[in-house]
């Protein structure tokens, strides 16, 4: 389970999520019901949120704590 208070763990998770969705986009035989571009954009936005998150933030809920 992802430690929601560990900024580095969440950053690693989101980075892998972006890489996985880019692999999906590159594969002409892949099928998904959610647009990978939407998932990539969301993960990139959450990564930007991590850079300015307050100390003690629950990063797994980012950016719901705005």
Phi-psi region of 9 (alpha: psi -120 to 50; beta: other; left: phi over 0): alpha
Tell me phi and psi for residue 22, to 5 degrees: -70, -35
pTM (two decimals): 0.78
pLDDT tens-digit series, residues 40-61: 999 999 888 887 777 767 666 5
pLDDT tens-digit series, residues 7-38: 888 889 999 999 999 999 999 999 999 999 99
Residues 6+ apart with CB under 8 A from 1: none
Q: Where are the domains of the chain?
A: 7-61
């Amino acid at each position: 389970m992802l430690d929601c208070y560990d900024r580095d763990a969440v950053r690693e998770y989101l980075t892998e999520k972006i890489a996985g969705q880019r692999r999906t986009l590159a594969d002409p035989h892949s099928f998904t019901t959610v647009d990978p571009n939407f998932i990539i954009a969301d993960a990139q936005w959450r990564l930007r949120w991590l850079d300015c998150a307050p100390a003690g933030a629950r990063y797994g809920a980012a950016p719901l704590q705005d």
